[in-house]
Amino acid sequence: MKLLRYGPLGAEKPGLCDVGGVIRDLSGVVDDFDPATISDETFARIAALDPESLPVVSGNPRIGACVGQPGKFICIGLNYSDHAAEAGMDVPPEPIIFFKATSAVCGPNDAIEIPRGSTKTDWEVELGIVIGKHAKYVDEADALDYVAGYCLINDVSERTFQLEHSGQWVKGKSADTFGPTGPWLVTRDEIEDPQNLAMWLDVNGVRYQDGSTKTMVYGVAHVVSYLSRFMSLQPGDIISTGTPPGVGMGQNPQVYLKPGDVVELGIEGLGAQRQDVVQG
């Protein structure tokens, strides 16, 4: 299933995208897609419905982030071998973990705001994992059972804040609008192999990223198992799993976002995003 949230910021309603691409309202079935409702049981209840029995959502509503109020937004750094080479860094011997502030989460087509003082705002197309049930000390062989589904994420990054200021990466990852998420939460049964998904990103119609989850160093099952050793994972937690090569920092000369730019990105089976870039 392709589940989504639609409507004005802060007042999103749950919906389903049917096989014809029509948005169906689920607000009579579930309150929202958030930590309180994301579960196998909720998804089984929705899967048992006839989509044509659900009300059609008219017009062209704003699409919100596919998860409301996630408890954690965890990111994995340098998780693609070809991106690590692009960055001139070694492949890490264990997954690099950092966090994005959950206030960075926004809709997939909301504008990206360049923060004040920024000179190096960059893009990163990434596969997102949405956790479906409490996970702690999970074996890698069982890890996918704890995944509710997958989504598309643009891990927007300010490289000066991230790499040239002292301290942790979180400063360059957490500005408002730096976490476009969605359009859909695609349930795990629809993604046969999360390690074989094509992914791409364009800026102003120019293809910069053209990769695949095949080149991930640490795959989905390993990442979920690994994280569960250091923290419990809860329903609705989002894990962003890293990016393939082609980021602005890796260009020669480097290219960064500026007001008026348009960013478009997508992952096979998970939909697409489009963001106008504005000054924050």
Q: Which of 45-54, 86-95, 202-211, 226-235 has the lowest mean pLDDT?
A: 86-95
User: What band does 81 get if pLDDT is binned at 50, 70 and 90?
Assistant: confident
Collapsing DSSP to helix, strand or coil, 263 comes out as strand
Q: Using CA atoms, how far apart are residues 174 and 100, in angstroms rounded to an integer? A: 5
- Residue 93 is predicted with a pLDDT of 93
* pTM for the whole structure: 0.96
- What is the tens place of the pLDDT at every residue in 139-183? 999 999 999 999 999 999 999 999 888 888 999 999 999 999 999
Q: Using CA atoms, how far apart are residues 267 and 227, in angstroms rounded to an integer? A: 23
- What is the tens place of the pLDDT at every residue in 162-171? 988 888 899 9
- What is the tens place of the pLDDT at every residue in 239-278? 999 999 999 999 999 999 999 999 999 999 999 999 999 9
Residues 101, 11, 24: CA angle, nearest 5 degrees: 110
41 class by beta-carbon count within 10 Å (0-12 exposed, 13-18 middle, 19+ buried): exposed
- Residue written as token pair 């995003």: 273
The domains of the chain are located at 2-53, 73-279
Reference 241, options 265, 214, 271; nearest CA is: 214
Give the CATH number of domain 73-279: 3.90.850.10
